[in-house]
């Protein structure tokens, strides 16, 4: 169980809501009908397995910039060396800067983010990229997710379909709790050394993933 893993690593399980780490969540994943087609994409793993251990701060970047529900679809388009988010049927409608601004105005502290895969705003390394003629030519992140990673490179990011893999789900939760503790700890060096010791009791692939993540946090201290 996820709670057993947290206790094994020495984390105190939250007893009160305010004690839980806060993560951002694409609002459609918790059942809000905010998608372009007027529907939602409720994710049971997110809500029922991570929900008891984390607080969710829900956002839909496309609604946040004033797009209606339902709404005409948008897509990521490569123009020369730039990625832009434009209307499929109305390519003159460019919402890239507005979506990036939503990420730039997020209120910290977030300790992670679960994003809607393949979304032109929220997809993390999973969103189809098209040429101006509409043909798919690759994959990238949506405008919101790309800016989010640029601004907060150490917070754990996941697409919702990543959570279906038990090892990824465990790693994501550990990284969220690590970031939360690291961000709020006045003695980061001591805490980091302690976590590195705790990590050695994990099995692969969690062991390698935690080593790499703790190294990333350690680099931020120099």
> Which pLDDT score is estimated for 40?
98
List the strands of the sheet with 82-87, edge to edge: 82-87, 74-79, 127-130, 136-140
| Res. 15: pLDDT tops 80 | yes
Does the N-terminal peptide bond of residue 65 adopt cis geometry, omega within 30 degrees of 0? no
Mean pLDDT of 129-133: 97
CA nearest to 122, candidates 95, 151, 145, 152: 145
Per-residue pLDDT band for 25 (boundaries 50, 70, 90) equals: very high
Mean pLDDT of 132-141: 97
| Res. 19: pLDDT tops 90 | yes
- Among 98-112, 147-161, 174-188, name the most confident range: 147-161
Mean pLDDT of 202-214: 97
**Average pLDDT of every residue of the chain:** 96
Task: Please provide the distance, in angstroms rounded to a whole number, between the alpha carbons at the two ends of the chain.
Answer: 35
> Which pLDDT score is estimated for 184?
86
Tokens (6 digits) for 77: 């388009």
Question: 140-172 pLDDT, tens per residue?
Answer: 999 999 999 999 999 999 999 999 999 999 999
> Which pLDDT score is estimated for 217?
94
d(CA 194, CA 179): 14
Mean pLDDT of 67-79: 98
């Amino acid at each position: 169980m996820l709670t057993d893993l947290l206790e094994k690593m020495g984390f105190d399980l939250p007893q009160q809501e305010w004690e839980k780490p806060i993560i951002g969540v694409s609002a459609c994943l918790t059942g809000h009908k905010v998608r372009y087609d007027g529907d939602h994409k409720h994710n049971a793993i997110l809500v029922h397995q991570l929900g008891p251990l984390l607080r969710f701060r829900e956002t839909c970047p496309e609604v946040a910039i004033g797009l209606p529900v339902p709404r005409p679809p948008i897509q990521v388009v490569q123009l020369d060396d730039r990625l832009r988010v434009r209307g499929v049927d109305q390519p003159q409608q460019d919402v890239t800067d507005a979506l990036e601004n939503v990420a730039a105005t997020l209120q910290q502290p977030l300790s992670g983010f679960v994003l809607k895969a393949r979304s032109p705003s929220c997809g993390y390394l999973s969103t189809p990229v098209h040429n101006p003629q509409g043909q798919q030519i690759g994959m990238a992140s949506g405008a919101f997710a790309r800016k989010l990673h640029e601004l907060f490179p150490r917070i754990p990011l996941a697409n919702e379909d990543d959570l279906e893999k038990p090892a990824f789900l465990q790693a994501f939760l550990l990284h969220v709790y690590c970031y939360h503790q690291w961000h709020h700890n006045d003695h980061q060096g001591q805490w980091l050394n302690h976590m590195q010791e705790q990590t050695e009791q994990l099995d692969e692939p969690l062991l390698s993933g935690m080593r790499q993540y703790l190294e990333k946090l350690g680099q931020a201290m120099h």
